Structure 1
Amino acid sequence: MPLPEQGAGIAAERVALAAALGKVRDQISSGIDSALRRGATAESDIFAAHLALLDDPELLAAAENDIAAGRGAGFGFRRAVRAQCAILAGLGNQLLAERVADLKDIERQVLVALYGEPEQGPELFDASILVAEDLAPSALTRLPRGKVAGIITAAGGASGHVAILARSLGIPALVACGPSALALEQGQTLVLDARAGLAHPRPGAADLAAARAEIEKLEARRRMMQASANAPAITVDGVAIEVAVNIANADDAREGVAHGADAVGLLRTEFLFIDRRDAPNQAEQTAAYQAVLDALDGRNAIIRTLDVGGDKDVPYLQLPPEPNPALGLRGIRTGFAYPDMLDTQLRALLAVKPLSRLRILVPMIADVGELIRLRERIEQLAGEMNLSERPQLGVMVEVPSAALLADQLAKHADFLSIGSNDLTQYTLAMDRCNATLAARIDSLHPGLLRLIAIAVDGAKQHGKWVGVCGAMASDPQAVPVLIGLGVAELSVSPRLVPEVKSLVRGLSRRHCEEEARRLLTLASPQAVRGRVTELWPGA
């Protein structure tokens, strides 16, 4: 996009840039809200990282310097972005170099906001393999999912946000293929095998026949898994593992049932509170929660109390600005800070029927005192409502102290549910919204596995079960490890339920237990994954 180098006046260019930044900030925030409502945690985390890049003070200061020198806002912003890109690309660190794509995505969005030149989307066939130098994460999320059969990029990397997003969307992708990828022609037939890391640019009749046969084989396997999805997931040595579903609303609940989910393992209630001017009242909340239970056809539902703060902003709460939101007011801490809002949600939950199918999950519990305080409040409210039943109450294990104190928490909780996304970031001291650390945040880190083992052992002392509702439960390589550590429930996205159930049915828990304890002695997540590949090559 050609840009005017000279500005129309310092004041005018400053106003224009501020307006463009505000517009893009609102767009990214809307993207985060939308992803949270759909339960797309990978997408929301990536957009949260983009929001941080947009507000980078060094980037804005460099653009401001160019504006002060008489240059145009767009010209200055592009120069500031490209200077940072050059620094990152020249550091010789692949992880940092891959953040260049995120910066260029921010640049593109700001320039479009400034000059009103939205990009034309690519022409797509019914089953297109999209080829590009690189893709902007924001552009990928706007593509019509039904028409994108695969992605090939010349640049990027396995830890880049496009690769992460493609995996979360279930789109086969090859990244960092080099300049030769750009020689592919519009409309040519191409065979892409992302699992093998290969693309055949000139397939013959035999190649196409083999590819179609493999696609049919995979589709037949998918149909087979779906056909048995409603059956329980029982290991070869007779241990039942509950495979539940992570959802955000009643529509997700129905999709989970259609895919064979045994229960709802996590209903995020944030979708009711975000993107609005005030908090939902009790009746609105009860109607939403009841709709979820009604959609489950007798199955149980774990509903998490509001988890905002950190990277999830609710403007009407007017939470104070924090230098490190992930360590500040979030989860149950926010609930205790706004007791009226917490009481409204608890009353709304206690009003659903039947309460025997409801399990309330509390986020960000750090010690047993917080849990006792909440249980006592639930008891008080239930008494005021003249209820004879009580729902089960669970603790979301997201901070290391909760895992280490699981034996204490399990005395007062009915179950524990490991939020592996947050537990991983707090254990490794790596912000999951930090783009430069994306490839190093691995839930199969031995330190995290040891914490999970401690949590499960602590819960067992009081006969309580432990589930996993974070992304780790959806990782095929993590499933045998979690079963081996004693996890009794895995909660995943709806479309993954049949696959996870099928995987569980091929495992022996006794074998998983024997090997999982050995994995705790390894020194790195790479070593763990390598050993898992040897033990369970199909995972």
Structure 2
Amino acid sequence: QPATAASAGARTLVGVCAAPGVAVGTLVHWSDAEIVPPELASGSLSAESRALDKAIAAVDAELNSAVRAASQRGAIGEAGIFTMHRVLLEDPTLVDAARDLISLGKSAGFAWREAIRAQIAVLGKVDDPLLAERAADLRDLEKRVLRLLGYANTAARTLPDEAVLAADEFTPSDLATLDRSRVTALVMARGGATSHAAIIARQAGIAALVAVGDALHTIPDGTQVVVNAGEGQLAYAPSALDIEHARSERLRLEGVREANRLTSQEAAATRDGRAIEVAANIATLDDANAAVDNGADGVGLLRTELMFIHRQAAPTVEEHRQSYQAIADALAGRTAIIRTLDVGADKEVDYLTLPPEQNPALGLRGIRLAQVRPDLLDDQLRGLLAVRPAGAARILLPMVTDVGELVRLRARIDSFARELGRTEPIEVGVMIEVPSAALLADQLAQHADFFSIGTNDLTQYTLAMDRCQPDLAAQADGLHPAVLRLVAAAVQGAEKHGKWVGVCGALAGDPLAVPLLVGLGVTELSVDPVSVPAIKARVRNLDWQQCRQRAQDALALESAQAVRALSTAVWPLD
């Protein structure tokens, strides 16, 4: 039985788990004051320009070293993050914008900061976590270059032996300079579970909490704390017994992780023989390799947004094909479910001129974008249809709200297949992330081959709560009975027509949610690649008939907390 986070005497803050684990340590506030370089150049224009070029080259060399070091450690995802940073650093529009400002008499540091901020302004307000992460990457590059221009102290911080680092948000370069042997956990006031800092923390085995809120900054530096990331809790002023429990729990979890890793390549089924596919959510070729290494049965969600941003023009059909074909090849026979472009009109991609919206979460998102820019979706669909072999890719359509949208899109897919001379059918699935889609699942299942439930958006739209809002993050819980009832409705609608249902949202990787999802009839769980071994192990310890009975009980409960209490009582965490 896992220890609870803390005794009644300890005070507790609640956040969202970004990397599981239990940690004990000393809280260290990682304050990185904003760097404000002087606006006007102190030297000649050519000197400022040379200084910027030299700093950019030095950062590129740093990133190259970081890629090599991560690759040697086997941290594939981390290597991919720093490779992406090199691509962003070499973006000619960014460097040209900075040079233009230098030519107007601005300092190299000011010019770089302004050029970066202009791009961040485009992405920073984005509701899509993948695109918001690009804004975080740009902030990281801003900081790196300014440091090398001499505007900040680059000396490494000295940390206590067991440090729990606290910050508003961490960037990959923050974590690259840390002595990781001394860091037991990361705690962030903001940020999301998909951030690059969270990915690096998961791969390094460092517990991480996000969206804790501003109360984090009120805990004094040097306070002893216990972090139970899996339960979303940070306890400060813990008792000696709390600390002892947390230390023993941490050792036990390390043993469990190793045992799960050894069985990760085997298929997962419940004790009474219900087979459950455990797939991976990915965005890049590096992620695909990580998925295979961690034993994923396939890719349950390939997010394609990165294909469309930081470009001067939309990707061509051939660029789409090559990108998806490379991932299909890396999966070595496993199937990839590829989601079509899911961005909204709350951002300005250079070639995507859309009107601003007051409420982008309810606007031109997902396939609705095809109403104003059908060419973007058409080219992507043509690229997907060209992936070989025929069964290597399935198409997943985001933000479908009713059957009419699906019928029109299937007709387009069929016509493109005929154009390409493709005779083999391609499976087309629908994301269930809008409540109307869950309620009309029986109609959609007549025309879709499968459903994939996006529990992040489904929760947001059902509860009218933004899960990236720190004050609401703990309440925007996918185990709310209203969300589970919509999951049940989607499964029942699918079963009427013999179709299968997967879950690709955060709930699929939540150990307390897994038995309930399996009990409601979900047969595929798609999770972060590093979570695959633990979720497979969780499935193998379940009895499907018991899951079915208790899932029905959960639907009658009144709150997410009550559902979590039920799940914890029936299926204690490993």
User: Which interval holds the TM-score relative to the shorter structure?
Assistant: 0.7 to 0.9
Moved more, 524-533 or 216-225: 216-225
Deviations 1:56-107 (A, max 9, x none): xxxxxxxxxxxxxxxxxxxxxxxxxxxxxxxxxxxxxxxxxxxxxxxxx9xx
Instruction: Say yes or no: does 1:536 pair with 2:571.
Output: yes
Give the stretch that moved more between structures: 304-313 or 507-516.
304-313
User: Which of residues 169, 179, 188 is equivalent to 1:137?
Assistant: 169
8 Å CA contact 2:278–2:296 kept in 1: the answer is yes
Is the CA contact (8 Å cut-off) linking 1:239 and 1:509 kept in structure 2? yes
* Residue aligning to 1:464: 499
Give the secondary structure class of the aligned counterpart of 2:311.
coil
Mean Cα deviation higher: 250-259 or 403-412: 250-259
CA change 1:119–1:449 in 2 (3 A) is: farther
Q: Which segment is superposed worse, 141-150 or 440-449?
A: 141-150
Alignment counterpart, residue 182 of structure 1, candidates 221, 241, 251: 221
Matching of residue 298 in structure 1 with residue 391 in structure 2: no
Alpha-carbon shift at residue 275 of structure 1 (Å): 1.4
Counterpart for residue 502 of structure 1: 537
Q: Which has the higher helix share?
A: 1
For 2:428, the equivalent position in structure 1 comes to: 393
The answer to whether the 8 A contact 1:140-1:162 is kept is no
Using the TM superposition, give the Cα deviation of residue 285 of structure 1 relative to its aligned residue in structure 2, in angstroms.
Answer: 0.8
Q: Which has the higher contact order (CA 8 A, sep 6+)?
A: 2
Q: CA deviation at 1:429?
A: 1.3
CA distance in 1, matches of 2:387, 2:255: 40
Q: 5 Å matches for 1:418-457? A: 418-457=453-492
* Maintained 8 Å contact 1:424/1:441: yes
The TM-score, its normalising length taken from structure 1, stands at 0.73
* Alpha-carbon distance in structure 2 between the residues aligned to 1:394 and 1:515: 28
- The answer as to 2:119 corresponding to 1:26 is yes
Alpha-carbon distance between aligned partners in 2 of 1:123 and 1:337, rounded to the nearest angstrom: 50
1:340-489 to structure 2, matched below 5 A, reads 340-489=375-524
Residues 505-516 of structure 1 aligned to structure 2 (within 5 Å): 505-516=540-551
Write the mapping of 1:121-132 to structure 2, written as runs, cut at 5 A: 122-123=156-157, 129-131=162-164
Give 1:336 shift: 3.3
Residue type of the alignment partner of 1:525: A
> Residues 131 and 214 (structure 1 numbering): CA distance in 2 closer, same or farther, change over 3 Å?
closer
Instruction: Quote the offset at 1:147 in angstroms.
Output: 3.7
**Aligned pair partner of 1:242 in 277, 280, 299:** 277
1:226 aligns with 2:286: no
* SS of equivalent to 2:395: strand
Deviates more, 1:359-368 or 1:221-230: 221-230
- 1:224-260, CA deviations, whole angstroms, 9 ceiling, x for partnerless residues? 2111111111101100100000011222111101100
1:244 and 1:261 in contact (8 A); partners too: yes
> How far is 1:218 from its partner?
3.5
AA partner of residue 486 (structure 2): L
CA contact (8 A) 1:129 1:152 kept: no
Alignment of 1:165-314 (within 5 A): 169-170=201-202, 171-172=206-207, 182-183=221-222, 194=228, 217-309=252-344, 313-314=348-349
Displacement after TM superposition at 1:413 (Å): 0.5
Query: Hey, what does 2:86 align to over in structure 1?
Result: none
Aligned residues of 2:185 and 2:227 also touching (Cα < 8 A)? no
Output one character per residue of 1:242-301: Cα deviation in whole Å (capped at 9) or x when no partner.
000001122211110110000100001111111111111111110010011101111111
- Amino acid aligned to 1:249: T
**Partner amino acid for 1:150?**
T
* Cα distance, 1:220 vs structure 2: 3.4
Change (3 A) 1:228 1:28: farther
SS in 2 for 1:287: helix
Give the deviation of 1:433 after TM superposition: 3.9
Contact 2:345–2:355 (8 Å) recurs in 1: no
Determine the C-alpha separation between the residues in 1 that align with 2:34 and 2:217: 26
Letter in 2 for 1:182: D
Note if contact 1:46-1:433 (Cα within 8 Å) is conserved in structure 2: no
How far, CA to CA, are the matches of 1:503 and 1:2 in structure 2? 44
Q: Does the CA contact (< 8 Å) of 1:406 and 1:458 recur in 2?
A: yes
The answer on whether the counterparts of 2:268 and 2:278 sit within 8 Å (CA) in structure 1 is: yes
Deviates more, 1:315-324 or 1:234-243: 315-324
Q: What does the per-residue CA deviation read over 1:140-199, in whole Å, with 9 as the maximum and x for residues that have no partner?
A: 77322874432477xx87xx5489967664332588689885247xxxxx9966469678
Q: Is the partner of 1:123 in helix, strand or coil?
A: coil
* CA offset digits 1:466-516 (Å, max 9, x no partner): 000111111111111101111010000110000000000001111111001
| Mapped pair 1:150 → 2:184 | yes
- Distance in structure 2 (CA, Å) of the matches to 1:362 and 1:440: 28
- Alpha-carbon shift at residue 349 of structure 1 (Å): 0.7
- More displaced stretch, 20-29 vs 413-422: 20-29
Distance of aligned partners of 1:378 and 1:201 in 2 relative to their CA distance in 1, 3 Å threshold: closer
Distance 1:28 1:178, change over 3 A: closer
C-alpha separation between the residues in 2 aligned to 1:537 and 1:164?
26
Mapped contact 1:445–1:528 kept (Cα < 8 A): yes
Q: Which residue of 2 aligns with 1:71?
A: none
How far apart, in 2, do the equivalents of 1:180 and 1:420 lie? 33
For 2:119, the aligned partner's letter is D
Q: How far is the alpha carbon of 1:526 from its aligned partner?
A: 1.1
Whole-angstrom distance in 1 between the partners of 2:238 and 2:520: 45
Structure 1's unaligned 5+ residue stretches are 9-15, 52-104, 185-189
Question: What's the CA shift string for 1:31-57, capped at 9, x where partnerless?
Answer: 899x98xxxx4x866898x99xxxxxx
The structure-2 alpha-carbon separation of the partners of 1:345 and 1:44, relative to structure 1 and needing over 3 Å to count, comes to closer
Residue identity in the other structure for 2:184: G
Which runs of 5 or more residues in structure 2 are unaligned? Answer: 1-32, 41-108
Distance 1:32 1:139 in 2: 18
Normalized against structure 2, the TM-score is what?
0.69
The answer to whether residue 366 in structure 2 is matched with residue 339 in structure 1 is no
Secondary structure at the counterpart of residue 558 of structure 2: coil
Q: Are the equivalent residues in 1 in contact too, given 2:298–2:331 (CA < 8 A)? A: yes
Q: Distance in 2 between matches of 1:303 and 1:45?
A: 20
Q: CA 1:352 to 1:46, structure 2 compared with 1: closer, same or farther past 3 Å?
A: closer
> Distance in 1 between the 2:34 and 2:469 partners?
31
CA contact (8 A) 1:306 1:335 kept: no
